[in-house]
Chains A and B, each alone.
Chain A
Amino acid sequence: MRFERRENQPLLLIFATPLIAVIAALALSGVLIALAGAPVFEAYWNIVKGAFGSRLSTTETLTRAIPLMLTGLAAAIAFRAKLWNIGAEGQLYIGAITVSAVSSQLLAGTPSLIQIPVLLICGAIAGMILLLIPLWLRLRFSVDEVVTTLLLNFVAILFVSMLIDTVLKDPLAFGWPQSLPVEDDAMLPRILTRSRLHIGLFIAIALAIIIYLIQTRTVFGLQSRAAGLNPEAAVFAGVPLGRTLVLVAMISGGFAGLAGAVEVMGVQGYVTTELSPGFGYSGIVVAMLANLNPIGVILAALFIATMFVGADGMSRVMEIPTYIADVTVASSLLSMLVAIFFTQYRIRR
């Protein structure tokens, strides 16, 4: 038996791949649910109910999908140019803490109309800077960015942890390590009353569409794809490799920073070290499930959010721990990687 490269990837296969991967992941997790002694289909039904069973759960699922869309875009953009940004988690936290600091220290009393866009941009810039450092190390000294971006996550989170226990600590938080809250005027408007769903949803979807257009229509999109697929040939064709990667890193890091800003300004209002339940890492799964397609990121983020929110709901009515969502999400990444392989290769005897 050997693997042979497919001449052409059938279009159907490209769309079916993520579905097959998700089904395989659900089947794998189903085995675990069965091992835990619970009825599998009922468990999945409860996940769906937990995610979309009521107005509250539906809006919670959508709210949860917002940062996942942004971190998913961050990963998809970078990976397409073969810039391995594993640091979205740290970039998210740095974006979040920047928003808290700027809002509470510099913009107190500024009207929403100014404060919200300024803060979103500040969060994005903070994320950008955190990714430009590893990129500089790569371009200047050929340091592998997988390692640097991954390790900077810990640096970033510990730095945030230090800030919220010292200079940015909220004195009214009963001693909890929690940052000063952003101004009320900095909170993103809600889409629906009696829910936490905020306009970050529209921002994320709009950005996904803009990125799709940039990738398919612009010179930068063409060049960044070329840089990712074959850097040598890209250089021969005159693609400015360094400049292209810097732009890619600015967008990628910017989106991850924005995810943090949006999460603070849309949901929590302040920063703790529990702000993100791994949004940065889940963003990698989102991007892979979406096959790095920005529009696909929207759907993949919804799937991941459904699993997380739904599993919470399910664990309340059945005796299955919510960790099953982590298992499903992780195994969907693995099965997607296998599935992507089979869209490019076929088995020959």
Chain B
Amino acid sequence: MVGREVKRPVREASQPGEIILSAENVSVQQGGVDRLKAVDFHVREGEVLGIIGVSGNGQATLAQLLSGTAKRADGAITLFGEEVGDLSVPEIVDRGIGRIPEDRNHEGVIGEMAIWENAVLERIPEFSKNGLVDRSAGVKFADDVISAFDVRGATPTKRIRLLSGGNMQKLILGRNLLNQPRLLLAAQPARGLDEGAVAAVHERILNARKNGTGVILISEDLDEVLALADRIQAIVGGRLSPSVDAEDANARKMGLMMSGEWADQEVRDEV
């Protein structure tokens, strides 16, 4: 497919650090519907938490909540040891949380804008002074991302829609990972990419993990989750299963988790 042997990177054993994010009893309503129902989860430094599930069970809402575009109805979130309210996007970015959106083309980039503008838009406070955009700093940042993350065929002033999906995703990863985030939210990070780009994205995520970044990986790709995650939870009908160590997981076990076998009969009937 890509003209060379592609090896997917392998997760090395590691010792996760302190808990950096924990959510207790968190619920979210959207349009009058309960999308997340009293979910509990946490993630530690240098650990990947994989969240699996069939599409439409609340993954998008969970990603929006962690990205700062959805609000909680209930529950508590503790971030870096401090209980927080609903944070806005700039607050989240400012606290060193990287975000990879589920849909690159609709949420991740603005096709008609230059690559450098796409690189700095979400961190504009860093790249502006008194309301004026610091273009040269932005172009330099984009240049750094392009070279550090091997974004092919890119120059900072080129419009981003001219990049391939894989290179676009590398840019999105790069703008989040270049400055070592403490927490990375990755929603379907390798969806729709070719094998070579998938391997590159996985390698970057594992690298971030090695450097102590906590990662929440929301994915429908079970192989991806098995390869990257240390622990796995399934999302079913807006509820999260208890967490299972990746070592104990396999395709069959994950299938059962995604069907809600862990839940009460009452919950399963709902699903």
Contact = CB atoms under 8 A, between A and B. Distances in A.
Contacts of A338: none
A267 B93 CA distance: 52
Interface residues of A, number: 21
Interface residues of B, number: 28
Interface stretch (A140-148, A151-159, A233-241, A248-256): A233-241
Interface in A194-235: 217-223, 225-226, 229-230, 232-235
B132 A233 contact: no
B4 interface: no
Contacts of B107: 232-233, 236
Contacts of B131: 218-220
B132 A230 contact: no
A233 B124 contact: no
Interface in B109-136: 109-113, 117, 121-122, 124, 128, 131-133, 135
A238 B93 contact: yes
A238 B133 CA distance: 16
A239 B112 CA distance: 16
B90 A233 contact: no
A235 B64 CA distance: 11
Interface string B88-104: 11100100000101000
A229 B90 contact: no
A228 to B, nearest CB: 9
A236 B93 CA distance: 11
Given A217-B132, A233-B110, A238-B93, A226 B121 contact: yes
Name, among B68, B69, B113, B162, the residue most crowded by chain A CB atoms within 10 Å (CB to CB).
Answer: B113
A222 B124 contact: yes
Interface of A: 7-8, 217-223, 225-226, 229-230, 232-239
14 contacts: A218-B132, A219-B133, A220-B131, A222-B117, A223-B121, A226-B110, A233-B106, A233-B107, A233-B110, A234-B110, A236-B101, A236-B122, A237-B121, A238-B90
